[in-house]
Amino acid sequence: MNFKKQIEEGIPSALPAPKAFDSTISHAPKRKRILSFEEYKLAIRNALRYFPVEWHETLAVEFAKELKEYGRIYMYRFRPDYEMFARPIAEYPGKCEQAKAIMLMIQNNLDPRVAQHPHELITYGGNGAVFQNWAQYRLTMKYLSEMTEDQTLVMYSGHPMGLFPSHKDAPRLVVTNGMMIPNYSKPDDWERFNALGVTQYGQMTAGSYMYIGPQGIVHGTTITVLNASRKIGGTPKGKLFVTAGLGGMSGAQPKAGNIAGCVSITAEVDPIAAYKRHEQGWVDEVIDDVNQAIETALAWKAKGEPRSIAFLGNIVTLWERLVEGGIEVDLGSDQTSLHNPWAGGYYPVQVGFEEAKEIMAKDPARFKELVQETLRRHAAAINVLSARGMYFFDYGNAFLLEASRAGADIMAENGIGLKYPSYVQDIMGPMCFDYGFGPFRWVCTSGDPKDLEQTDAIACEVMEKIMKDSPSEIQQQMADNIHWIKEAGKNKMVVGSQARILYADAEGRIKIAKAFNKAIRKGKISPVVLGRDHHDVSGTDSPYRETSNIYDGSQFTADMAVQNFVGDGFRGATWISLHNGGGVGWGEVMNGGFGMLLDGSKDADRRLKMMLHWDVNNGIARRSWARNDEAIFAIKRAMQDEPLLQVTLPNKVDDSIIDAATSAE
Ligand SMILES: NC(=O)c1ccc[n+]([C@@H]2O[C@H](COP(=O)([O-])OP(=O)(O)OC[C@H]3O[C@@H](n4cnc5c(N)ncnc54)[C@H](O)[C@@H]3O)[C@@H](O)[C@H]2O)c1
């Protein structure tokens, strides 16, 4: 049966043969066994509802085994036999181009070159799921192949509830992931309800089909390292950057360090992850001796040339040795998976990597103790180096949050805040998000690298034109991104679909998108999917990350992300998504995003203008209301340009008035 027919078939009519476990690819960690006996039965009952009753006897035994062994029911047997990758859009079956574009993006997220644990349908971050199981994948693709422009597909955490009548301008797909009653949003609730098969952790771009491989994070990390260096003075040249993690996202750190121009040491406990990044050319060398790693880095620093070193070992071993050796570090951070500290995101220093994995599965309570002690040592070493002048920033992996929960000496003197800023508080927030700059991205649906080249050139031309009249406040961002797009092709970061990312504000995003749509209309390029990372101006409410530079107390609310999702939906997005979790962990963040197909039509012109304008200005308005000066500047500019935009502006009060009014208390 050919590819199109297999997609159209959905759940196959004959029971496919069981699949052998493929040990050549990376698999998700075995999840902890959390279900009671009754819940265990319920999970199997839930899984079987996808299949005809004649198969139940066979599948019940198999699913029970999967659940026991892996902690989840992935339905491995139903993984399709065709190759998983984003095909050119014309190769998808279907009645509407928008649905075909979505299929392409789904397949990209599951491509083994792109996805972290492809057979468990995990794209990145250890638990960032596209679907919970292969039945959901098959049904979703079938629905998309049948959908018309008068229908919307509704996705409940990976489960395709079905096609519902709607209209041409409605989103073709509405995705929610991990929406929980707030009191049931603790990490163990994810374990339980995901094991039951009723919810999933969609991360950000995993469960929203907008992941573009490591390029997105390389760009974001490069911008962060560049701006962190500017913050402490000068350029990254000759600076030493120490951090941890060479996994899905964190693996971008050494490459970004090299692009920015500094020397970096990145610790990684897992030899598979370290050598994989080395083979891919993302890190220059792997050294397992801590002293040698430090000496090598210092030699390159002295030369003033960029170099990236992977230290194969625990990050705490490295930090403690840097302290003992009296070594000066300029920039420090961490990108272990602390959003997932008890299930393999962060490894303790007291035992070896393999032993730690065993303890994690057999004695979770002891594992937790070891991790928390490691976090306390981790923070203590960082405190010493910071006192010696290092600039440390939390890179959105919940390091500070978990260290504080472990009782580490990480609280600020006022006892309320934390000792160190998150990279959003100091860097991304005031320098990018408050001005509307965020991770705009696009995918060429032809799969043709020449289309990507053309879009790079179009985007560059548009930005250079905008920059000529840009205010001084945003000149640096414009310049960094023009430089990036000029170099992007050379840096060869495309893995999977032909995609590109850059940071742009509302004006840049709208003008670039319009120029793409024009080029499509003229037949110069094929249709393009627009999107963005959820880690953006308006898409994410996350008090320790994206909204950590909001100081009016509203950083613990999630109205912005929800409003964004809804507003994008009725302004023309092709698909919209809203997620609990993502980045810093289940229950800690709400985030949303969109996808939009540009097909060269007038409809697409109308939609892109309306939707992208809202998608950025919603967040600027909120950031401005929180009294952020950069956002007040940006929203005033936006109101000048668009008379239909009217935003409530804050009146700032002089502190002396508050102090006087409260002095008697
Ligand atoms: N700021 C951002 O823009 C941003 C973007 C993406 C991800 N993140 C966050 O960064 C974290 C990492 O993401 P990822 O996709 O790379 O996850 P990942 O799980 O693929 O990689 C983390 C790596 O850290 C290693 N590690 C764990 N404990 C260690 C220790 N003590 N010492 C040395 N190495 C250790 C693991 O072996 C793993 O390879 C996540 O929490 C994620 O949410 C932040």
Please write the tens of the pLDDT for every residue from 497-552. Answer: 999 999 999 999 999 999 999 999 999 999 999 999 999 999 999 998 899 999 99
Instruction: With a cut of 80, say whether residue 665 has pLDDT above it.
Output: no
- Predicted confidence band of residue 490 (pLDDT cuts 50, 70, 90): confident
pLDDT at site 650: 98
CA of 407 to the centre of ligand 1 (A): 21
- Atom of ligand 1 minimally distant from the CA of 221: 3
pLDDT at site 445: 98
pLDDT at site 217: 87
Q: Ligand 1, atom 4: nearest CA belongs to which residue? A: 396
Instruction: With a cut of 80, say whether residue 422 has pLDDT above it.
Output: yes
556 CB contacts (<8 Å, ≥6 apart)?
543
Residue 273, helix vs strand vs coil: helix
Cα 361-396-501 angle, rounded to 5 deg? 115
CA of 524 to the centre of ligand 1 (A): 40
**Dist CA 27 CA 20 (whole Å):** 13
Contact 509, 610 (CB under 8 A): no
Give the E-state strand segments of 447-517 in sequence order: 498-504
- Atom of ligand 1 minimally distant from the CA of 267: 33
Distance of CA 208 to the CA centre of its chain: 10
- Atom of ligand 1 minimally distant from the CA of 251: 16
**Could you tell me the pTM of the whole model?**
0.89
CA of 269 to the centre of ligand 1 (A): 11
pLDDT over 90 percentage in the chain: 87
Question: Quick one: which of 185, 29, 122, 26 has its CA closest to 131?
Answer: 122
CA of 426 to the centre of ligand 1 (A): 21
DSSP 472: G
The pLDDT of 475-503, averaged and rounded, is: 91
Question: Quick one: which of 353, 364, 528, 367 has its CA closest to 454?
Answer: 528
Q: Give pLDDT tens digits for 68-79.
A: 999 999 999 999
The pLDDT of 192-213, averaged and rounded, is: 97
Question: Quick one: which of 283, 136, 126, 127 has its CA closest to 197?
Answer: 136
pLDDT at site 486: 92
Q: How far is CA 317 from CA 70, 263, 375, 409, in A?
A: 31, 19, 12, 18
Q: Give pLDDT tens digits for 255-304.
A: 999 989 999 999 999 999 999 899 988 999 999 999 999 999 999 999 99
CA of 512 to the centre of ligand 1 (A): 32
- Atom of ligand 1 minimally distant from the CA of 128: 15
pLDDT at site 171: 98
CA of 221 to the centre of ligand 1 (A): 13
pLDDT at site 421: 86
CA of 246 to the centre of ligand 1 (A): 7
Question: Quick one: which of 26, 23, 493, 502 has its CA closest to 280?
Answer: 493
CA of 337 to the centre of ligand 1 (A): 4
Q: Ligand 1, atom 34: nearest CA belongs to which residue? A: 268
Pocket of ligand 1 (CB under 6 A): 124-126, 217, 220, 244-250, 267-270, 273, 314-315, 335-339, 345-347, 395-397, 535, 583
Instruction: With a cut of 90, say whether residue 402 has pLDDT above it.
Output: yes
pLDDT at site 1: 87
Instruction: With a cut of 90, say whether residue 618 has pLDDT above it.
Output: yes
Helix H segments across 506-663?
Answer: 506-521, 559-570, 602-625, 629-641, 655-662
CB atoms within 10 A of CB 323: 17
- Atom of ligand 1 minimally distant from the CA of 340: 41
CB atoms within 10 A of CB 454: 16
What sign for the dihedral angle of Cα 577, 444, 499, 281?
A: positive
Residue 596, helix vs strand vs coil: strand
Quick one: 290 exposed, middle or buried, by C-beta within 10 A (0-12, 13-18, 19+)? buried
Q: How far is CA 26 from CA 8, 29, 279, 365, in A?
A: 29, 9, 16, 26
Q: Ligand 1, atom 27: nearest CA belongs to which residue? A: 346
CA-only gyration radius of the chain, Å: 24
**Dist CA 579 CA 13 (whole Å):** 33
* The amino acid at 23: S
- Atom of ligand 1 minimally distant from the CA of 535: 3
Helix H segments across 449-555?
Answer: 449-468, 475-488, 506-521
Instruction: With a cut of 80, say whether residue 395 has pLDDT above it.
Output: yes
CA of 495 to the centre of ligand 1 (A): 19
Contact 580, 178 (CB under 8 A): yes
pLDDT at site 340: 87
Joined tokens for residue 492: 């060869």
**Dist CA 115 CA 135 (whole Å):** 18
Q: Ligand 1, atom 40: nearest CA belongs to which residue? A: 337
Instruction: With a cut of 90, say whether residue 605 has pLDDT above it.
Output: yes
Q: How far is CA 153 from CA 96, 253, 590, in A?
A: 13, 37, 22
Q: Ligand 1, atom 43: nearest CA belongs to which residue? A: 583
- Predicted confidence band of residue 87 (pLDDT cuts 50, 70, 90): very high
- Atom of ligand 1 minimally distant from the CA of 378: 31
Q: Ligand 1, atom 37: nearest CA belongs to which residue? A: 270
pLDDT at site 491: 79
The pLDDT of 607-629, averaged and rounded, is: 98
Token pair 């075909």 is found at 100
Q: Ligand 1, atom 2: nearest CA belongs to which residue? A: 396
Task: Tell me the longest C-alpha to C-alpha distance in the chain.
Answer: 81
* The amino acid at 60: A
Mutate to test the pocket of ligand 1, among 210, 250, 311 (most ligand atoms within 8 A of CB): 250
